[in-house]
Each structure stands twice: as structure tokens, then as C-alpha cells.
């Protein structure tokens, strides 16, 4: 049976979604792994989203429910940062996993994360750091990428999002898009994580 990796994300302006798509490519490159993209539900009203000038969500990616997390052999979570922590939409989704926590239904599953921030000091490390508590309470196994990307992690000449915690990008005022280096990190994370999930399942 294939190792199922669920890539679950929330994206306001599409930056996190682009990382998620690249992560899926990386996970799918591992033989015997089946990666699926999922979104969490939006909690803002359409009126607020219009004022934020947020584009429509990708209708090709289904909305996940908390109970569907149990179907996966590994879970990668992606979200933008809000003041150095995960966006409230994703927190609301995780807050709804109380039933899974009570039965420890996710215990032992590998988990990782990726993020997008507005600026270099906007939470590339604090966002993952403050999110790991979710994994701990569920008994999940946190899988960071560390420095396995190699030379790309030591890039100093170009602005690059991401960290040893996982892939990342900088959105800036919204016009900046994930760079080639950031997408390479995302692809690597998907491939690396999928390999770990496959080993743990086997």
C-alpha cells in the first residue's frame, strides 16, 4: 500500500499554496508515496476577504475535516504567520482536533511544517517554534528538514525564506513570489519528509 502524505495548508494570497504545490512534487517523486493537497476552511467573511484583496481560494483543492487527518501516514502543515505565530484559520482547524487528541489518534505520525512571512524578521523561525506544541500534545513525531538541503541553506547573497524547521518564503507587500531557491527547499522538504514517512510506515 502507498504511503499517504497529506499536505494541509491555509493560504491568504497564494504564497503558502505555491510552496505546498512544490512540496507535493517532492513527495510524489518518492516511489510508493501518494501525496494529496488539502486546505483548511476560511474563517473570514467574504466582506473581509474583499477588503483584504485576497484572491479566491483554489477550488481544485478540497477542504479537509479534522477526522480526515487520521487517514494519512504523514502530515505536512503550511500557513502564513500572524505576529510570529500561525494564522488563526489554521489554529481554528487544530483547535477542532480535540477528539483526535483525546484518543491520541495522531500519535506516532510524522509531521512537518512550512510557512510564509511578510519580512525577514517576521517569524521564519518563531512561527514553526510556536507551532510545535500542537504536535507534542498529539504525540506526533516532528520532522524538520535541518540542513539536509545542503549549500542552499547557507545562501547569503540572496534573500531566502525557510529555516532548519522547514521551507518558507517572504511575501513582502504581496507582490514578491517564492524564489527558485525557496521552491527548491520546498521540493526538498516534500521529498525528504516523504522518505521519512515511508520508512516509519514500513
d(CA 96, CA 67): 9
121: confidence class by pLDDT, cuts 50, 70, 90: confident
> 137-170 b/e with 16+ CB inside 10 Å = b?
ebebebbbbeeebeeebeeeeeebbbbebbbbbb
**Mean pLDDT for the stretch of residues 163-172:** 94
**Mean pLDDT for the stretch of residues 131-143:** 97
Contact of 39 with 63, CB cutoff 8 Å: yes
Contacts of residue 11, defined as CB under 8 A and 6 or more positions apart, other chains included, come to 17, 20, 39, 57, 78, 79, 80, 116
Q: What is the pLDDT of residue 134?
A: 96
- Domains, the chain, ordered by start: 3-201 (3.40.50.360)
183: confidence class by pLDDT, cuts 50, 70, 90: very high
**Mean pLDDT for the stretch of residues 128-146:** 97
Q: Where are the beta strands (DSSP E) in the chain?
A: 3-9, 33-39, 74-82, 85-86, 110-117, 141-142, 168-170
Q: What is the pLDDT of residues 22-81, one digit of tens each?
A: 999 999 999 999 999 999 999 999 999 999 988 999 999 999 999 999 999 999 999 999
126: confidence class by pLDDT, cuts 50, 70, 90: very high
d(CA 183, CA 178): 6
Percent of the chain with pLDDT over 90: 88
- Phi, psi for 56 (deg, rounded to 5): -60, 150
Q: What is the pLDDT of residue 152?
A: 87
Amino acid at each position: 500500500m502507498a504511503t499517504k502524505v497529506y499536505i494541509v495548508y491555509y493560504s491568504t494570497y497564494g504564497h503558502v499554496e505555491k510552496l505546498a504545490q512544490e512540496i507535493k512534487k517532492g513527495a510524489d517523486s518518492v516511489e510508493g508515496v501518494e501525496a494529496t493537497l488539502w486546505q483548511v476552511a476560511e474563517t473570514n467573511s467574504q466582506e473581509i476577504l474583499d477588503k483584504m484583496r485576497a484572491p479566491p481560494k483554489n477550488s481544485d483543492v478540497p477542504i479537509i475535516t479534522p477526522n480526515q487527518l487520521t487517514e494519512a501516514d504523514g502530515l505536512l502543515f503550511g500557513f502564513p504567520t500572524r505576529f510570529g505565530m500561525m494564522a488563526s484559520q489554521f489554529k481554528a482547524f487544530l483547535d477542532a482536533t480535540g477528539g483526535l487528541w483525546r484518543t491520541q489518534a495522531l500519535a506516532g505520525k510524522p509531521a512537518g511544517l512550512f510557512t510564509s512571512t511578510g519580512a525577514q524578521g517576521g517569524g521564519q523561525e518563531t512561527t514553526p517554534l510556536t507551532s510545535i506544541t500542537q504536535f507534542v500534545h498529539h504525540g506526533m513525531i516532528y520532522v524538520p528538514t535541518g540542513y539536509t538541503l545542503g549549500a542552499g541553506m547557507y545562501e547569503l547573497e540572496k534573500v531566502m525564506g525557510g529555516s532548519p524547521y522547514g521551507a518558507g518564503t517572504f511575501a513582502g507587500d504581496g507582490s514578491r513570489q517564492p524564489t527558485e531557491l525557496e521552491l527548491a527547499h520546498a521540493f526538498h522538504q516534500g521529498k525528504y519528509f516523504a522518505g521519512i514517512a515511508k520508512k516509519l510506515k514500513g
